[in-house]
Structure formats: structure tokens, C-alpha cells
Amino acid sequence: MFNKRVKIKELLSQEPQEQEVTVMGWVRTFRNNQFIALNDGSTNNNLQVVLELGKFDEETLKRITTSASLKITGTVIPSLGKGQKLEVKASTLEILGDSDAEKYPLQPKKHSLEFLREIAHLRFRTNTFGSVFRLRHALAFAVHKFYNEKGFVYLHTPIVTASDAEGAGEMFRVTTLPFDNPPRNEDGTVNFKEDFFGRSSNLTVSGQLEGELGATAFGEIYTFGPTFRAENSNTARHLAEFWMIEPEMAFCDLEDNMNLAEEFIKYIIRYAMENNREDLEFLAQRLADEEKQLPQDKRSELGLIEKLEFVLNNDFERITYTEAIDILLQSPAYKKKKFQYDVKWGIDMQSEHERYLVEKHFKKPVIVTNYPAAIKAFYMRQDDGCEPGKETVAAMDILAPGIGEIVGGSQREERMDKLMKRMEEMHVPAEELWWYLDTRRFGTVPHAGFGLGFERMVQFVTGMGNIRDVIAFPRTPKNCEF
């Protein structure tokens, strides 16, 4: 019944030839009792609907308020207004739903992003969030398209897991046990055998370990699913619930891994540039306007689209961790004691160090490799021939301007003896990971993979400064609304 409507995005791409159309959408503005700017979410560009004076009764005209929903039939004619080639001359107008303009939280003015977060259920109806979430969609689709074209298998790794061995961060417990009087063992501890899954279980922090099981059968797999961190981080860079893409490849070493990650990032940016140009241009303008408020030296050198083009057209810089530390030690920032945290070989680089490398020194995405073993996870492949005390692993992190770490990955330790020794040193319980170790027992292969934080990628492409503005309903400490 409703399938006869034409979407505004499609209509705006047609030529005005007095064709009859039906459009539906929400009122953005209504001027002079005559001109409706109608939006249906398919694009930020509103359709101008023209009401012939005197054709519609006063009662109806009064109900055409911001966010009221309308069904309009009419004729598509050339527009004399600027910035639009066509408009619809309404022949019928039906109010589908009223909207009390006094009470509607989105007034036709600029709202702060903080305020819009409080009404995240309505912020989709603004131009900014319309563009952000259409771009998020485009990037997500590009992810699937990229891996599908390469023959990777999309693997849904589990969300609830009993494995807490990876140590990527604090975890959320998943349970059906009652807090009041939970079942207990004889020694007084809670008896998780009585819990739903028969053991203590958590929300996953990464699908990697299960991804490796897939890669060592299908050759190449990827995951794209939600992951969780129960960390009390109230920052513009952290979420308790976020989406991650984790490809994992058999017959793959660190260099192949870097090549894939760089190709992947460029592919999805290019896809967004080619398919969502209007949304990008809108956000580029938004960012430029926002930066006008900043002092000259705090503004970006490149606009949003120029930044993305620069990333597409240049190789990512590739340096080892040891080289990165040397650069930092030689830097004016270090010599002038401008870093808050100390710099020396062995440190887990802080955000200020990463930003220096990426934003000041190289001014482009940087892949840092071969980190100290001591600050990385047990499964990373140990580099051969290291100086004692300077053991490194075949890790790689990709750092992006304005965002920081956007990718973390490594070649995995495929040698059973070295893996077991490392797990022992790091107190990772081998018996719990019997299934993981089986991949090394039965036809082990060199393999590698990485994780891309999807929200950080969306931030990078949209230019949004706060990660809470690129996910529909952000989950953060003390915040689980909607």
C-alpha cells in the first residue's frame, strides 16, 4: 500500500517532467504557509513542497509543524529556488502524524552534541547524525564487500564466552544466578556450575582466538561483531560496547598482515568517498565551521576530505617500535620535556607519544611493528635473534591522525613449544585453551590477523571527535539508556 512512495534521494536525481509522485517524510521547516522542506532520511537534502495559496484549509496548515509526518501527492516541476532543480507542487496533503512544536526537543537551531546525546533516539533526524549514520552504514557494507571479494569467510564468533584467557581487558559477567542467595559450594564460593552455562561466563573482548580456529580451516576468515570492555573509562575514545572487525589469515606473516590492513582501510575509505560524497561534504563543512571557533594553531591543516584523499594517495609509514622510540628521544618535544610520560625502550607508548609520531613527525598513518614482548599478548609471534632483555614480537599497530590506535594485530605464535613456554610465563592456563592449542598440534601454519575498531574508523572518516557520536546508542559507565 505504501510501496508507491518515491524516496526523496531518488526523486532529487530525476528530471522535473510534471510527473505525478507520492512522497512521505517529516517536516523540517514550513515557510510562509507555502513552502515545506520535507525530509525522509534518505538524504540530508530536503524536498521542497509547494502548497498553492488557498488550496489547503487553515486547520491543516496549522498542523504542518517541525517533525510532523506528511503524505503528499503532487507534480514534479522545475524549481526557481537556489540549490534545487526541482520541487513538488502538492495536489493532496495528508497529515500522518502531528508534532507539538512546543514540545519537540529538536528545535530548528544548532544543538550541542552533548545535548543530542541525551536524545539519541531523535538525533538521527538531524543533518549531522543523518550523515554520520549513513556513512557508518556505507563503511560497514564496504567491510563485507572487501572481504567477500577476497574470499574470506565471515565467521560469527561467540559473544558469551567462558574463556577469560586473552587478558585484553576487564570483562562483564553474564549470569542468570540470583544475587540473593546464589548457589554455593561447600567452601562458600559461588557455584557457577549452577549458572546457565554451567560455568562462569563473560562477554567477549575479542573473537580472535576463535577466529584462529576458523582461519586454520578456511584459510581466511573475518569477524564483525560487538566486543566489550568493563573499564571505567569515561573518555571521548572509549566505549563499553563497540564493534570490531577481526580478519585472521593462515599462510600469512607480519608483512602480508600490514599489506592487508592498509589495503582494507583504503578500500573502505574509497568506498565512502565514492558512494556517500554528499554526506562527507556536509560533515567536512561542519568540521570546518567547528574549527573556525579554534585558535589558528589548533585547526587541522587539511579539511576532512583532503585528509581522506591524502590517506588514499600515500603509503602508510612503517617503522619498528625501536625506531619509534628513537624518534621520540630525538624529538624537540622530548628535549623540551613536553611529554608528560617518560620515553624509553620498553614503555607502552602513551597517547601523547603516538600523536607526536603521527600528527607532528610523519603527518600520516603510521604502522609501528615489533613491540617489546613484555607489553604484548601471549599469542604474538616471538621475533628470532633478539638481544637478551630486548625481546620483541611480530606485532603491528596502526596509528591514525586524530584517533590514535585504530588497528592492533600481529603474526601469531605458531610454534607449539614457544607458545607453551610463553603461556606459562604469563600465567595463561593451557588446559582452558586446549582447543586453541590443537591448531598448533595438528598441522600448525604461519598465520596472522588484526582487529580494527569500527567506531574509531567511523570517527576517522566522519571527523567526529567523540566516539559516542558515531554509535547509535553508546554504552559507557553509568549509561545504558535507550
CB atoms closer than 10 angstroms to residue 348: 11
> Rounded CA gap, 400 and 308, in Å?
11
CA atoms within 13 A on the CB side of 21: 24
Binders of a second copy among 25-84, rule CB under 8 A? Answer: 25-27, 40-42, 67-69, 71
CB of 288 to a second copy, least distance (A): 25
Binders of a second copy among 259-318, rule CB under 8 A? Answer: 259
Binding residue for a second copy, selected from 36, 93, 250, 452, defined by CB under 8 A? 250
CB of 141 to a second copy, least distance (A): 5
Q: Which residues contact 355 (CB under 8 A, 6 or more apart)?
A: 404
CB of 179 to a second copy, least distance (A): 5
Q: Determine whether 114 is exposed, middle or buried from the number of CB atoms within 10 Å of its CB (0-12, 13-18, 19+).
A: exposed
Per-residue interface string for the shown chain with a second copy, residues 199-218, x marking contact by CB under 8 A: x-x-x------x--xx--xx
CB of 290 to a second copy, least distance (A): 22
Question: Parallel, antiparallel, or unpaired for β 69-78 and 35-39?
Answer: unpaired
One-character DSSP codes across 222-248: EEEEEEE------STT--SEEEEEEEE
Q: Give me the count of residues in the chain.
A: 482
Size of the site for a second copy (CB under 8 A): 111
CB 439 within 8 A of CB 210: no
Q: Which three cell numbers stand for residue 66?
A: 517541525
In the bound state with a second copy, the residue whose beta carbon lies nearer, of 347 and 420, is 420
Q: Determine whether 225 is exposed, middle or buried from the number of CB atoms within 10 Å of its CB (0-12, 13-18, 19+).
A: middle
In the bound state with a second copy, the residue whose beta carbon lies nearer, of 250 and 304, is 250
Indicate if the alpha-carbon torsion angle 391, 393, 396, 399 is positive or negative: negative
397 binds a second copy (CB under 8 A): no
- Quote the Cα angle for 13-18-22, to 5°: 70
Integer angstrom CA distances of residue 293 from 431, 469, 482: 57, 20, 32
CB of 27 to a second copy, least distance (A): 7
CB of 282 to a second copy, least distance (A): 15
CB of 153 to a second copy, least distance (A): 5
> Rounded CA gap, 260 and 220, in Å?
12
CB of 34 to a second copy, least distance (A): 20
Binders of a second copy among 8-27, rule CB under 8 A? Answer: 9, 24-27
Binders of a second copy among 133-192, rule CB under 8 A? Answer: 133-134, 136-137, 140-141, 144, 148, 151, 153-163, 170, 172-177, 179-180, 182, 190
Stretch that binds a second copy, among 108-116, 197-205, 335-343, 379-387 (CB under 8 A): 197-205
CB of 117 to a second copy, least distance (A): 13
> Rounded CA gap, 188 and 106, in Å?
54
In the bound state with a second copy, the residue whose beta carbon lies nearer, of 259 and 330, is 259
Per-residue interface string for the shown chain with a second copy, residues 422-461, x marking contact by CB under 8 A: -------------xx-xxxxxxxxx---------------
Binders of a second copy among 90-129, rule CB under 8 A? Answer: 96-100, 103-104, 119, 121-122, 124-125
In the bound state with a second copy, the residue whose beta carbon lies nearer, of 210 and 359, is 210
Binding residue for a second copy, selected from 331, 414, 450, 459, defined by CB under 8 A? 414
